[in-house]
Chains A and B, each alone.
Chain A
Amino acid sequence: MTTAPLIKVEGLTKRFGGLVAVEDLSFDVESGEILALIGPNGAGKTTTFNLIAGVLVPSAGHIALDGQRIDGMPVHRIAGLGMMRTFQHNMPFAGMSLTANVLIGSHRKLRASVLDILAGRSFVRDEETQARQRAGELIDFVGLNAYRGADVTTLSFGEGRLLEIARALAGSPRVILLDEPAAGLTTAEISRLSAMIRRIAADGVSVLLVEHDMHFLLPLAHRVVVLNFGRKIAEGGSRDIVRDPAVKEAYLGEAAGALREGAPDA
C-alpha cells in the first residue's frame, strides 16, 4: 500500500525579517497516519501549521496535498480541499451556540448558493439537516453533548479544545492539523483524546499533531518529526526519537526526562 503521500512538504522555509522560523523542512504524511511535530517553544511548529493551512505564504519550498500544489492558495480554498485545523489558542465564534460553531466547520461541504437558499430549493434543507445531524454526532463524539445549545463563551478551556476538534471534524477532513490539543485537559480527558485521535486516523484521515505532552504523544504518533530553531533535527518512530542524541540535546533538563518517561516501553 505504498501510494503517493497525501501531504508532501519540500524545502519549506519561512523568514520573518531576519528570523528564520522554519528552514528547509521536508516531510511526508500518508493517509491515516499520525505524524507528530515536536520541538521546544519557538521551534516553528505553529508556523509550519500556518504555512500548510495557507495562513502564511512560504518564503521558499512547496506543499502538496494529494499531488496538488497548495502553497500560495487562499486559506478557504485549502480548507475546501479537506484540510481542517484547530488553533493553539481556542478560537470559538463567540456569538454562536456550540452547535452553530460545529456547523461552521461543515461549511466546506455545503453546496447551497445564495440563490438556492433564496429560491428555497429542497436540497438546501436536506443538506442542512444532514449537517446538523453530523454536528450532533460529533458533539457526542468529543463528549460535549451536555452543552449543545450553550453559549460557547461559558465553556471551560478544556471543553473549548474539544470544540475545536469537533468543528474541524465537521468538515470531514482528509487532513487534520491539531495544534496542542491536549493542553489544559485533565488526565482522563487526555486518554479519551488519544482514543479519539486513533479513531480519526483509522478512518483514513491524516493527523498532524503538535504537542508538548510526551506521555500523550509518543504512544500515539506513528512517526515523529523533531524541530529545533526551525530545522528538522530528527525523524522516525517514537522509540528511535527518544534515543536520538540530537533530540536529547535540544530537550535539555526537565523536558528530556518527560521525553524518556513518555516513550512506550523505553
Chain B
Amino acid sequence: MRALLWLASIIAASLLAFMLGGYATDVYRKMLVWIALALSYNFLFGVAGQIAFSQFAFAGVGAYGVVILAHKLGLPFGVALAGAIALCSLLAFIVAVPSTRLEGFYLALATLAFAQLFLVVVNEGGDLTGGTGGIAGYRLPDVFGYTLRGPWYTVVLVLLVALTLHILLRLERSSFGRACRAIKDNPAVAAAMGIDVRRTKVITFTLTSTLAGLAGAAYAYVDNVINPPVFGLDNIFLLLFMIIVGGMGRPAGAMLGAVLLYLAPFVLEPIVGHAYLVLFGVLVVLAILFQPKGLIGLIDRLVDRLGPEQRA
C-alpha cells in the first residue's frame, strides 16, 4: 500500500515534468533541488537540532566535485560522482568531529567558516574551478547508455527527492531518529540513557551533508553551469527560513516551506521588489514567536478541528 503511494507520487511528479515547458521547467527543477536540500537540512537542524551553515557549501562540494572530476579531469561519470560524494562525506566528518565536541553554537561558527572557506577556494581555484565565473559548457554524459535530457533529467531530480525522503524517513522513524530528537531536547539526559551524543551528532552531520552533496551534484546538470554565489550564505539563510516557516523537524513542513518560499519571490518581487526579503525575515520571527511548529503545525490543527466533524 505504502509502496503504491510512493510510486503514484513519483509518477505524478514526473508527469508534471513532461507537461511543463520553457521557464516553468527551469523553476520546477530548481524547486526540486531546493526540496531535496530542505529535507536533509530539516533532519540536521529540525530533527537533530544542529545549527549549521554549511549545507550549501557541501552542495557546492558535490557540484564542483562531480564537474571537475568528470569534465576537467576526464574521469568516467560514475567514478566522478562517487568521488564527489565521498569527498563530501570526508569533509563533513572532518568538520563534525571537532565542532560537535563543543557547545552548540560552535558548530554554527565552524560551519560558517567552512562555508566561507569553500567560497574562497572556489573563487581562487583558477582554471580548475573557473574562479568567480564558475564552470559552464559541459554536458551530462550518458549514464549506463541512457541519455538523460530534457524532462528525463527532471525525472532524475524527482527520484533524487524520493530517495532523500525515503532515507530520511527511515532514519527519523527509527531508534536513531529518536536518539537525535532526545539529544536536541536534552543532551545530558540523552547521555544518561546510554546514547553516545557525539557519535550520533557526527553521523547525522556527515549523512545530511552527504545528501546535500548529492543534491548539489544533481544541480550541476540543471543548467549545466555552476558558479560560486549559488553556494553562498544568502541561500543558506533562505533554506533555514524555509524550514522554520514550513515546520521544523517535519519532512512535510520542510517540503511545504521549500515550495512556498522558493515560489514566493516570483509572485512578490514584481509587486514589492526586494522588500519581500524583509517580509521573509518578519515571517521567520513571527513563526518562532507564535507558531514554532510552522505552517505544517497550523495545518495539523486545522485537520484536527475538521476531523471529528467529518467522522461524526
A84–B193 CB distance below 8 A: yes
Residue of B nearest to A115 (CB): B203
Is A167 on the interface with B (CB-CB < 8 A)? yes
User: Does A94 belong to the interface (CB within 8 Å)?
Assistant: yes
Q: Is the CB of A104 within 8 A of B190?
A: yes
- The interface residues of chain A lying within 8 Å CB-to-CB of B288 are none
Name B214-246 residues within 8 Å CB distance of A.
Answer: none
Contact of A128 among B175, B189, B197 (CB under 8 A): B175
* Interface mask (B181-218 → A, CB under 8 Å = 1, otherwise 0): 11011101111111111000001000100000000000
Asked whether B167 is an interface residue with its Cβ less than 8 Å from the other chain, the reply is yes
Give the distance in Å from the alpha carbon of A75 to the alpha carbon of B197 in the complex: 10
Bound-complex Cα distance A128 to B207 (A): 22
B192 x A93 contact (CB < 8 A): no
**Which of these, B178, B185, B203, B207, contacts A103 with CB under 8 Å?**
B178
Q: Using Cβ atoms and an 8 Å threshold, which residues of chain B touch A104?
A: 178-179, 182, 190, 193, 195
B171 within 8 A of A: yes
Q: Give every chain B residue within 8 A of A55 (Cβ-Cβ).
A: 188, 192
Q: Which residues of B contact A110 (CB under 8 A)?
A: 175
Can you name the residue of chain A whose Cβ is closest to the Cβ of B206? A114
B6 is an interface residue with CB less than 8 A from chain A: no
Q: Does B174 contact A (CB under 8 A)?
A: yes
**Which of B174, B184, B197, B249 is within 8 Å of A76, CB to CB?**
B197
| Chain A facing B: main interface SS | helix
B18 contacts chain A at the CB level, 8 A cutoff: no
Q: In the complex, what distance in Å separates the CA atom of A95 from the CA atom of B192? A: 18
Query: Which of A94, A95, A127, A167 meets B193, CB within 8 Å?
Result: A167
Which chain A residues (75-129) contact chain B, with CB distance < 8 Å? 75-76, 79-80, 84-85, 87, 91, 93-96, 100, 103-105, 107-108, 110, 112, 114, 117-118, 120, 124, 127-128
Contacting pair A75 B179 (CB below 8 A): no
Q: What residues on B are CB-neighbors of A242 within 8 Å?
A: none
List residues of chain B with CB within 8 A of the CB of A79: 191-194
Would you call A74 an interface residue if the criterion is a C-beta within 8 Å of the partner chain's C-beta atoms?
Answer: yes
Q: Is B167's CB under 8 angstroms from A118's CB?
A: yes
Residue of A76, A84, A96, A120 touching B195 (CB-CB under 8 A) = A76
A76 surroundings in chain B (CB, below 8 A): 191-197
Chain A residue contacts of B196, Cβ below 8 A: 74, 76
Q: Is B170 at the interface (CB under 8 A from chain A)? A: yes
In the bound assembly, the distance between CA atoms of A120 and B169 in angstroms comes to 12
Q: Counting CB contacts under 8 A, is B176 at the interface?
A: yes
**What is the bound-complex CA distance between A112 and B203, given in angstroms?**
14
Question: Which residue of B175, B182, B184, B203 has the most chain A CB atoms within 10 A of its CB atom?
Answer: B175
Rounded to whole angstroms, the CA-CA distance of A110 and B179 in the bound complex is 11
Chain B residues with Cβ below 8 Å from A91 are: 186, 189
Determine if A107 and B186 form an interchain contact, defined as CB atoms under 8 angstroms apart.
Answer: no
- CB < 8 Å: which of B175, B195, B197 contacts A112? B175
What distance in Å separates the Cβ of B105 from its nearest Cβ neighbour in chain A?
Answer: 20
> Which residues from chain A contact B194 at a C-beta distance below 8 Å?
76, 79-80, 84, 107-108, 171
A45 to B249, CA, bound (A): 38
* Most A C-beta atoms less than 10 A away, residue of B176, B184, B249: B176
Q: Which residue on chain B has the smallest CB distance to residue A75?
A: B191
Is A139 part of the contact surface with B, judged by Cβ < 8 Å? Answer: no
- A53 at interface, CB cutoff 8 A: yes
Q: How far is the CB of B188 from the nearest CB of chain A, in Å?
A: 7
Known: A84-B192, A118-B170. 19 other contacts (CB 8 A): A53-B192, A55-B192, A76-B196, A79-B192, A87-B192, A93-B189, A95-B181, A103-B175, A104-B179, A104-B193, A107-B175, A107-B179, A112-B175, A114-B171, A117-B170, A117-B176, A118-B171, A124-B174, A171-B194
Interface CB pairs A-B, < 8 A, 22: A75-B191, A76-B192, A79-B192, A84-B192, A87-B192, A93-B182, A93-B185, A94-B185, A96-B185, A104-B178, A107-B175, A107-B193, A108-B194, A110-B175, A112-B175, A117-B171, A117-B175, A117-B176, A118-B170, A128-B175, A131-B175, A171-B193
Interface residues of B (CB under 8 A from A): 167, 170-171, 174-176, 178-179, 181-182, 184-186, 188-197, 203, 207, 249
Closest 3 CB pairs of A and B: A108-B194, A79-B194, A75-B191
